[in-house]
């Protein structure tokens, strides 16, 4: 942490996103925003409000419901020198755009040697009453694709700083927002060049007994669980990867080697997930230091129900993470 005084303001997650969009669209006329309902009404959750008035109908456009085209609009426009920002309203709808994201955008530099500065923003509906087609966590799918970057911030400050970095990045980036975090507040630096570099994990709480790698909205829950365990004398280190591809493997390895124990918390189901990847990294690189087996705290392998209480019953809660940490910390000492 820098000791220099940085001017900050308490801001909601969505405001961090909005501010990043405004700053970057002010900064570079080659940026533009397209997506379903993003212009006139500013999106179903108001994230892009004000942008149409500020930048006009050429640079801020409501699109038809054509997700594959949307990703292609960004790919083609980036290929002719623009810096498009494409919004896919819910992460689930990215399934309709897989060819353009995976086969086209992600391969462009490989084939041409040229940059493709495309940012695709999407929102995972976890935390809202959205059901099985509007709440899924597909982040790991995209991490399997060379050529893409995948970003999933857990707070308003990172949302701002990482979206700005994504827009300035020379490669296609999938930026995943989370509905359950949209109104969560954090202190956000106001400086215009507040950039959070992609590919670097954050450690919002240092500890020595057990590491919890937490993703997206699980970071706040992990911090709360860590606080509970501190009362019992258990020291928990919370690591937020923030960028899922490229994953900050050195930071994960360093933390797990230090504590010798690792729990991974995520909204997604377990099979072939980020949690699986973190466990694999721990096994590959930290076996000598591991005092006990890695643990995945995930949603069970079932679909997301619509009512929030049921959806929350399915998702890992603070108690689930705390219990896993407590059990893990009690082993191998």
Partner 1 sequence: MGMTTRDETTDAERLARYRLMRLSRRFEETVHEQFHDGNVPGPLHLSIGQEAVAIGGCWPLRETDVIVSTHRGHHHCLAKGARADRMMAELLGRADGYSRGRGGSMHIAIPEIGLLGTNGIVGGGLPIGTGAALGLQIDGRDDVAVSFFGEGAAANGVFGEALNTASLWNLPIVFICENNRYVELTPQHVHVAGEIWKRAEGYDMPGVKVDGNDVDAVVETVAAAVDRARAGDGPTLIEAETYRWFGHYAGDKAAYRDEAEVEAGRAGDPLVRTRALLDPVEADLAEAEVEKEIAAALEFALASPIAGEEVLTPGHYAEEVSA
Active site amino acids: 134
- The one segment of 11-19, 210-218, 221-229, 245-253 that binds partner 1 by CB under 8 A: 245-253
Judged by CB under 8 A, does residue 3 bind partner 1? no
Residue 108 CB, shortest distance to partner 1, in Å, is: 7
Segment 161 to 180, residues that bind partner 1, using CB under 8 A: 169-171
Angle ∠(207,213,216) on CA atoms, nearest 5: 125
Judged by CB under 8 A, does residue 199 bind partner 1? yes
Judged by CB under 8 A, does residue 300 bind partner 1? no
Question: Could you say which of 9, 10, 40, 66 contacts partner 1 (CB under 8 A)?
Answer: 66
Question: Could you say which of 8, 28, 63, 129 contacts partner 1 (CB under 8 A)?
Answer: 63
Segment 97 to 156, residues that bind partner 1, using CB under 8 A: 99-100, 103-104, 107-115, 146-147, 149
**In this complex, which beta carbon is closest to partner 1, that of residue 66 or of residue 183?**
66
**In this complex, which beta carbon is closest to partner 1, that of residue 143 or of residue 157?**
143
Residue 246 CB, shortest distance to partner 1, in Å, is: 5
- Beta carbons within 8 Å of 47's beta carbon, 6+ residues apart: 14, 17, 18, 123, 177, 182
Residue 110 CB, shortest distance to partner 1, in Å, is: 6
**Within 10 A of 19 (CB to CB), how many other CB atoms are there?**
21
Judged by CB under 8 A, does residue 24 bind partner 1? no
Q: Report CA 6 to chain centroid distance, whole Å.
A: 24
**In this complex, which beta carbon is closest to partner 1, that of residue 267 or of residue 277?**
277
Judged by CB under 8 A, does residue 80 bind partner 1? yes
Question: Could you say which of 12, 59, 217, 314 contacts partner 1 (CB under 8 A)?
Answer: 59
Token pair for residue 317?
């809660």
- The one segment of 37-45, 74-82, 206-214, 228-236 that binds partner 1 by CB under 8 A: 74-82
Token pair for residue 138?
């597909």
Judged by CB under 8 A, does residue 68 bind partner 1? yes
**In this complex, which beta carbon is closest to partner 1, that of residue 171 or of residue 267?**
171
**In this complex, which beta carbon is closest to partner 1, that of residue 146 or of residue 332?**
146
Residue 325 near residue 226 (C-beta atoms within 8 A)? yes
Judged by CB under 8 A, does residue 81 bind partner 1? yes
The CA distance from 222 to 205, in Å, is 10
**In this complex, which beta carbon is closest to partner 1, that of residue 229 or of residue 239?**
239
The CA distance from 303 to 269, in Å, is 9
Judged by CB under 8 A, does residue 195 bind partner 1? no
Binding site for partner 1 (CB under 8 A): 30, 32, 34, 58-59, 61, 63-64, 66, 68-82, 84, 99-100, 103-104, 107-115, 146-147, 149, 169-171, 199, 245-247
């Amino acid at each position: 942490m820098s000791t220099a005084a940085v001017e900050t303001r308490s801001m909601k997650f969505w405001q961090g996103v909005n501010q990043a969009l405004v700053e970057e669209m002010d900064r570079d006329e080659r940026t533009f925003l397209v997506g379903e309902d993003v212009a006139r009404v500013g999106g179903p959750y108001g994230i892009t409000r004000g942008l149409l008035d500020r930048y006009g109908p050429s640079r801020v456009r409501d699109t038809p419901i054509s997700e594959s085209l949307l990703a292609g609009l960004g790919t083609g426009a980036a290929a002719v020198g623009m810096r498009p920002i494409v919004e896919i309203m819910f992460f689930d709808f990215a399934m309709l755009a897989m060819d353009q994201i995976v086969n086209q955008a992600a391969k462009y530099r490989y084939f041409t040697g040229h940059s493709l500065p495309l940012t695709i923003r999407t929102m995972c509906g976890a935390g809202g009453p959205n059901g099985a087609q509007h709440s899924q966590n597909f982040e790991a799918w995209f991490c399997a694709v060379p050529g893409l970057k995948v970003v999933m911030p857990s707070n308003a400050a990172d949302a701002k700083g990482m979206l700005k970095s994504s827009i300035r990045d020379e490669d296609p980036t999938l930026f995943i927002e989370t509905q359950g975090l949209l109104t969560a507040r954090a202190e956000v630096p106001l400086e215009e060049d507040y950039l959070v570099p992609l590919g670097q994990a954050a450690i919002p709480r240092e500890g020595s007994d057990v590491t919890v790698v937490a993703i997206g909205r699980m970071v706040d829950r992990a911090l709360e669980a860590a606080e509970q365990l501190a009362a019992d004398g258990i020291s928990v280190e919370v690591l937020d990867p923030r960028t899922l591809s490229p994953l900050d493997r050195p930071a994960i390895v360093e933390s797990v080697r230090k504590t010798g124990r690792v729990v991974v918390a995520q909204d997604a189901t377990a099979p072939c997930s980020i949690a699986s990847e973190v466990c694999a990294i721990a096994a590959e690189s930290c076996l000598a230091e591991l005092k006990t087996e890695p643990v995945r705290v995930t949603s069970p392998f079932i679909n997301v129900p619509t009512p929030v209480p049921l959806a929350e019953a399915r998702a890992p809660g603070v108690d689930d993470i705390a219990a896993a940490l407590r059990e893990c910390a009690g082993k191998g000492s």
